[in-house]
Chain A
Amino acid sequence: MAEDKRDSGVARIETAFSAAREQGRAALMPYMMGGFPDAEASLAVAEAYIEGGADLIELGVPFSDPLADGPVIHAAATAALGAGVHLETVLEICRRIGERIPVVLMVYANMVLGGDGPADFASRAAGAGACGVIVPDLPLGEDEDVRRTLSDAGLAVIPLIAPTTPDGRRAEICAVASGFVYVVSSVGTTGERGELAPHLQELVADVRGKAGVPVAVGFGIGSVEQAAEVGRVADGVIIGSRLVRMVADAEGTDRAVTAVTRFLGETMAALAGDQSPRVM
């Protein structure tokens, strides 16, 4: 049924956020580079994320020139492409885990516009069980046709808001958001930071006031403590480079799996352990 299809991805994302909220914590959304270090190990990492308690998974599609990403994720993308990973490889990972956990694809505009175009991309992504799509280089103003095409296929189209985004534009972005709003915690590309940006709390509070959907924060969250701090103000916490680095540094898939499972377990405990009242 068309109407069910239209809302299915969005609904699954919202259910994941509300389930976390009912447990009195922020949702945990680890990022992984699809096909890194290779397709098989990457699937093991995805399984470890589920095992580690992730509420949603952000699954990156490797791209040759990822302008929003810092060195760790860029290197992982380069390695994945070198290992022969294609869009289909990543969609296969999505297919294998997508029934158990909501998957959001992080994919650059080229991959959506390339191939046989946005409609084909949308049907392939939805067909593989993806719930939503983040296109980090398709900001409001460039995205209307693509957003409609992706939405029509039942995918949430998750916009980003940066610390530099002015107030009026924030409201416009929130008005078209589906699934959740991705708040970029600090100015810069993806990657771990020593400290969280000073005005993050105000930014998140403002976006939560404007958005009719949950607000998740990513870019620069590299420790359990930072995740807990962000979890106190946001509906979801996205951790990327730290986890990708753990996979890159681990000797073999088993150790990578052990490392990320433990890290996510600790992060989940920290998110759940914080029982301070949450502003709705």
Chain B
Amino acid sequence: MSEPAATPSERVRGSGGGVPGRFGPYGGRYVPETLIPALDELEVAWDEARDDPAFVARAESLGRDFIGRPTPLYLAERLGERAGRKVYLKREDLAHTGAHKINNAIGQVLLARRMGKPRVIAETGAGQHGVATATACALLDVECVVYMGSEDIRRQRPNVERMGLLGAEVVPVEAGARTLKEAVSAAIRDWVANVGTTHYVIGSVVGPAPFPALVRDLQRVIGDEARVQALEKESALPERVIACVGGGSNAIGTFTAFVPDEGVALIGVEAAGDGVSTGRHGASLSAGRTSVLHGSLSAVIADREGQILEAHSVSAGLDYPGVGPEHAWLRDSGRASYVTVTDHDALGAFRELSRLEGIIPALESSHAIAWILGDGSTGGNGYDVVCLSGRGDKDLAEVLELKDA
């Protein structure tokens, strides 16, 4: 039985239930004591904001007129022919700033303003969340500092320039592998030191409670829209809903509306990097262990003693050794399944979608495209909905460099 489509206010509100801050055993608040009151404050502020019609109306109006929602659900016929089944793309690449990240950034910066915090910090991997947060801060006139690993600064140069143009300060992070994990750690340390004046706009469904639920609430608009659009076009629910998973926000955003639809398979595609067996990958759910990273208990790429290991992916947005706790629970409960795609196959899909559909996908989203191209399933009468979480302009330099190498 299918659930009724979410009303606009439910779209912002999201779903609750269960142990607060936990998804099965996962989630929680494994952070220094200094942050606990700020997390409590955030939880209360979010509860109040989503019940405030003025806040909801403002968020929806910006969603429509600034972000450009709803994004289209596009029947990708040539891709479908190649995949051997009908495929719709949920076009988050057409959202303002070029990825789904803006859905969360606008909501959280609105919330920061409502909480009276004059300063916002964010971390970024691929640069998309940094650009989205810088954009929201420009629009809403809030000071913005973005932490970014220096390796990611190198491979995502255009986004660094965009953040500067939007008025954000980009702080390079030199620790460890100089990628997303260290950027999140640096942002959390900044937050510990400046918690009175600062809101941390975390970019994915990770971090201490209430962040995983808050970001899910702000991203579920993807699946809420897609479900309505899919039913309009096909008069039936999709057989499979597919999204790439790094931290997991576009996947949670896409899956949430479909979770009650038990006949719909939910498939998350993780980064296999050089191959899961090489140890150089970003597949926390497929090959990690239960551990704590950045304040929540989830699937983490860690060693036996609990030390966090470096992830690897050609895509900066999937180059992260953790994943949102709700994904770990969706995996354990069997409601979603998680598969992996290598750098090589993702790069192939990047080129293939460009040629087939005239859409240059982000390297992150290319993992989801690669999986449907490679899984060999011809299906029956069913069809797929794939979240095309972002556009690939930011990746051109990196991909061309690899091609030359």
Contact = CB atoms under 8 A, between A and B. Distances in A.
Q: Tell me if chain B binds chain A.
A: yes
Interface of A: 63-65, 67-68, 70, 74, 78, 81, 86-87, 108-115, 136-142, 159-166, 169, 173, 184, 187-189
B32 A68 contact: yes
Contacts of B291: 110, 113-114
B65 interface: no
Interface stretch (B1-9, B23-31, B266-274, B345-353): B23-31
Contacts of A114: 289, 291, 302, 304-306
Contact of B192 (A87, A138, A188): A188
Given A111-B306, A115-B304, A188 B181 contact: no
List of 4 A-B pairs having minimum Cβ-Cβ separation, nearest first? A114-B306, A110-B306, A188-B193, A162-B34
A81 B308 CA distance: 11
Contacts of A166: 37
A65 B185 contact: yes
Given A68-B192, A188-B192, A189-B192, A161 B33 contact: yes
Interface residues of B, number: 37
B292 A137 contact: yes
Contact of B195 (A137, A140, A184, A187): A187
The B interface, classified by DSSP as helix, strand, loop or mixed, is mixed
B36 interface: yes
B331 to A, nearest CB: 19
Given A137-B32, A141-B29, 11 more contacts: A70-B189, A78-B176, A81-B307, A110-B302, A110-B308, A136-B33, A139-B33, A164-B195, A164-B196, A189-B32, A189-B192
Contact of A67 (B32, B196, B302, B305): B32
Contact of A189 (B189, B295, B307): B189
Contacts of B29: 139, 141-142
B185 A169 contact: no
Contact of A113 (B31, B33, B292): B292
B356 interface: no
Contacts of B305: 86-87, 111, 114-115
13 contacts: A67-B189, A70-B189, A137-B32, A140-B36, A142-B29, A160-B32, A164-B35, A164-B37, A165-B37, A187-B195, A188-B34, A189-B32, A189-B193
B121 to A, nearest CB: 14
A187 B31 contact: no
A173 B33 CA distance: 10
B31 A139 contact: yes
